[in-house]
Chain A
Amino acid sequence: MLTTVERVQTAAEKALSDYFAGTDIADSARGAEVRRAAMVRFQEQGLPHRRIEEWKYTDLRTAMREAPALPETGDALAAGDLSAYAAGYRAVFVNGRLDTAASELPEAAGVTVTSLAEALEADAGLAERLDGAMEGADSPVRDLNTAFADQGMVIAIADGATLDRPLQIIHRFVGEAPASVFLRHALRVGDNATATVAEVFEGPDGLAYHVNTAARIDVGTQANVTYLRLQADGTQAFNLATLEADIGAGAELTLIAASFGAALSRVQASVKFSGEHAILKHGGLKMLRGKQHADLTMFVDHAVPNCVSEELEKTVLDDAARGVFQGKIVVRPDAQKTDGRMMTQALLLSEGAEADNKPELEIYADDVQCGHGATSGQIDETLLFYLRSRGIPESQARSLLIQAFAGEVVDEIEDEALRGIVAGHAARWLGVELDV
């Protein structure tokens, strides 16, 4: 006996539907049809909840009680101090709008940085590429992004070109009124090209603003790309992200996601190998306290032979924080000689903390080397004893051990300035002075 229950819209779902109805998308550059279709999909499914396997540990329907309105379209707000990001190029978004005055965009040959609206007008194929979700990336959260996002950066690096300094896309939330911000970025790196791009998220503590971003990364043959995501949002913020990456033959992608802020954050990443002999290195770091909840869900698709993927996820949890890692490596029938390794480690500093790990392997090719490991526990007492026996006070010894634990991910960031920024966040989290 099957009883179909009419789904009741939650307050947040209803609000989002209303905002969409209120937006004027007729003259928008992106296909109105695609956006409406995405909204219909969202309305059918609603916010994801724990009965959906991929959202088992992050029940968005329960957590997202309300959805703040879209940002005001009045005068632009000031970005504030950006000196920490002086070393690289900057694309600064204040409450979801590009602040051209505060930005410093690269103008080198072979490097094109345009706003989403301009890029869509210039490149007819872009809309399609952005709207079709890769396997493992599709979700109602992405649908919301497709429906709402009309701002973002489109970065194209020509074949053989090099982005001489890292480009930092800085998302800053300012002011006292919460809002829902939606952004869509795209990075296309040509054959034999090199680029480092960082997404940074910041905002005031105590303000319940929402950020929903989606980024699409295309890595060309033999290209070398580092993509960093530093989430240091305010303590009451929601940060939901979709990351999609396609790696060409012989290319190397380093993907780093560090999460320190937000009441609730989730990164849903999907990476596909579309050419042989490519390498994916993923480093994830979460440092959370209070009642923070951070989720990293990753899908690695070994669709072709001879590729290597390495994932390392480190989670430090204090108070009643909750860290979630779900990683899935799929090795397709033809993807022989795949080398896939996934490691997730959680360090629980308090009784009330919770770490949920779900590393998955789905393997259809026989000549592969795949493995995953997962550990969770508190600080190793023997290590602590060793340090204390050398005269280091307990609190200092603890923070040293945590720094070392987190450092394994931080050290994967090649660019010195960016590494310093992330290390600074880790140090501030621990409450220690950093001498770099």
Chain B
Amino acid sequence: MPAVQETIEQVRSIDVDKYKYGFTTEIETEKPEKGLSEDIIRYISARKEEPEWMLEWRLDAYKRWLTMTEPGWAKVEYPKIDFQDIYYYAAPKGQDAPKSLDEVDPELLLTYEKLGIPLKEQEVLAGVQGARVAVDAVFDSVSVVTTFKDELAKHGIIFCSISEAMRDHPDLVKKYLGSVVPVTDNYYATLNSAVFSDGSFVYIPKGVRCPMELSTYFRINEMDTGQFERTLIIADEGSYVSYLEGCTAPMRDTNQLHAAVVELIALDDAEIKYSTVQNWYPGDKDGKGGIYNFVTKRGDCRGKNSKISWTQVETGSAITWKYPSCILRGDNSRGEFYSIAISNGRQQIDSGTKMVHLGKNTSSRIISKGIAAGHSDNTYRGLVSAHAKAANARNFTQCDSLLIGHKCGAHTVPYIEAKTATAVFEHEATTSKISDDQMFYCLSRGLGEEEAVALIVNGFVRDVIQHLPMEFMVETQKLIGISLEGSVG
């Protein structure tokens, strides 16, 4: 398996600095004052030239947020966040609405080049021949460029930043925004509803199979800013789309907040495949700095025979708090969740999924692989529920945890609620360590300790990796090697 070889090489090539996306871009930024108030919300809304109803929506969310309290049930610990000490909006100067790539600040283009994200349409992702990916690049609070727009438009596909969508397709936004994650869903979703800046909007018309992968690349650059992006994907009847999401941030000593909301809607016979490689800055080895990743992601299988599949690779962030979920409303709809969560250093991950079976003959599948190393804590928290009318609901869940070292923790907290006799639920969970036999075998074949660990771990997560799009597979295998760097010996 050449990819395994690559992991090994990657591990070998890295000496000290294992987070290679930690650089900062020197660029002039416009940002209003720190802190959260109605004025800031009005400012954001005005900057984005939003319609009046949108501003009302935000202000309503803000008022509701003021009455809410921070949730404390997740198995993560962090000092209290001062919501008045955050910049809620930061935009590279003069980059509000570049018409073409030529107008984009070359410094920004260089940033994405360094990150390996192709913004020129003739380029392709490094290492993958012939694959074309349309990219929406979000830098701090704004979308700087969206590629392949014209070609996608030929198919009737709308792929643009959500700010643009609000101006150009207000009916669609108005109809679907907040319909999966309501404004008051939870503390961070409500905060996001009030101050969200940019994100991607995708609409796939009836019967269209999206001809290329769509992707968004999120980059936090400014210090003390929060990124609050909002993504809305609608797959109309009989359509298909595969969407990728990537993210990185510079290395800083202070924690930064990232509170996103992602809403997916699949109508009759539609399918959405959503893949994430989350590689926010995880903080240094002592747990200083890093991103707080408090994200609400939910897909609604609204139509019959619809399907939503989440695949996530979580390697970054100081704290992850994220549960990509599926509401299986349509009859015969299907939800899938494939996850690899790797924590090292002082990272804390509390992640999982919710599969809510509402329609008849709905099915879901959860495969979660958690790997904890260093001093980290890695929790799988999931809900599978079947309501009384969800006849013949089926679920299969498998969550495996692997512990590397004895200073870390791996936890499994599943909630399984069956309210109908015809629902068949199966749940399995195991926790183990890399066995001495496996290590001995690898070492006896001449592999070094870290190579052996990377090899075994890659085997452990294979069930999930094979569900990733080609573009991410290679990257992920490398990432696994990097994330576990320094975890043995």
A contact set with B: CB distance below 8 Å: 1-2, 53, 333, 336, 346, 348-378
Q: Is B433's CB under 8 angstroms from A354's CB?
A: no
Residue of A2, A351, A358 touching B414 (CB-CB under 8 A): A358
Q: Give the contact stretch, choosing among B44-52, B399-407, B449-457.
A: B399-407
Q: Write out the residue numbers on chain B whose beta carbons fall within 8 Å of the beta carbon of A371.
A: 428-431
| Known A1-B67, A373-B427; contact A354-B410, beta-carbon cutoff 8 A | no
Cβ of B251: which chain A residues have Cβ within 8 Å of it?
Answer: none
CB distance from B415 to the nearest CB of A (A): 5
Could you give, for residues 388-429 of chain B, a 1 whenever the CB lies within 8 Å of some chain A CB and a 0 otherwise? 100000000000010111111111111111111111111111
Whether A372 lies near B420 (C-beta < 8 A) is no
Assess the A354–B411 pair: CB atoms within 8 A.
Answer: no
What are 29 A-to-B residue pairs whose CB atoms are below 8 Å?
A1-B66, A53-B73, A356-B415, A356-B416, A357-B416, A358-B413, A358-B415, A359-B427, A361-B410, A361-B412, A361-B429, A362-B411, A363-B401, A363-B403, A364-B408, A366-B403, A367-B406, A368-B433, A373-B429, A374-B416, A374-B425, A374-B426, A374-B427, A375-B424, A375-B426, A375-B427, A376-B416, A376-B425, A378-B421
Additional A-B contact list (17), CB under 8 Å, known A357-B416, A377-B421: A1-B66, A348-B418, A351-B421, A351-B422, A357-B415, A358-B416, A363-B401, A363-B403, A365-B403, A366-B403, A366-B405, A369-B432, A372-B428, A373-B427, A374-B416, A376-B425, A377-B418
The answer, yes or no, to whether B69 is at the interface (CB within 8 Å) is yes
User: Which of chain A's residues have a CB closer than 8 A to the CB of B425?
Assistant: 374-377
Contacts of A376 in B (CB 8 A): 416, 418, 423-425
Q: B406 to A363, Cβ gap below 8 A? A: no
A231 to chain B: closest CB distance in Å? 23
Contact (A360, B412) CB under 8 Å given A366-B433, A371-B431: yes
Tell me the interface secondary structure of chain A in the complex: strand
Q: How far is the CA of A231 from the CA of B413 in the complex (A)?
A: 28
Q: Which residues of B contact A373 (CB under 8 A)?
A: 426-429
A377 touches B432 (CB 8 A): no
Asked if A348 and B431 sit within 8 Å, CB to CB, the answer is: no
Q: Are A363 and B409 in contact (CB under 8 A)?
A: yes
Report the contact-size class of chain B (Cβ under 8 Å from the partner). 35 or more
Contacts from B to A (Cβ < 8 Å) = 66-67, 69, 73, 388, 401, 403-433
| Cα–Cα, bound, A53→B403 (Å) | 27
Residue of A nearest to B409 (CB): A364
Residues on the A chain within 8 Å of B420, using CB: 348, 351
Q: Decide: B419 and A354 in contact? CB cutoff 8 A.
A: yes
Closest to A354 in B: B419
Distance of A358 Cα from B431 Cα, bound (Å): 16
Residues in chain A near residue B69, CB distance under 8 A: 2
Distance of A374 Cα from B430 Cα, bound (Å): 12
Q: Which residue of A lies closest to B400 (CB)?
A: A371
Establish whether residues B422 and A378, one from each chain, have CB atoms under 8 Å apart when the complex forms. Answer: yes
- Chain A hits for B428, CB < 8 A: 371-373
* C-alpha gap A412/B423 in the complex (Å): 29
A368 to B411, CA, bound (A): 13
Chain A neighbourhood of B416, CB < 8 A: 355-358, 374, 376
**Which residues of B sit under 8 angstroms from A366, Cβ to Cβ?**
403-406, 408, 433
Contact present for A352 and B388 (CB under 8 Å):
yes
CB distance from A184 to the nearest CB of B (A): 32
Q: In the complex, are the beta carbons of A336 and B429 less than 8 A apart?
A: no
Q: Are B418 and A363 in contact (CB under 8 A)?
A: no
The 5 nearest A-B residue pairs measured at CB? A348-B421, A366-B403, A374-B427, A377-B424, A371-B430
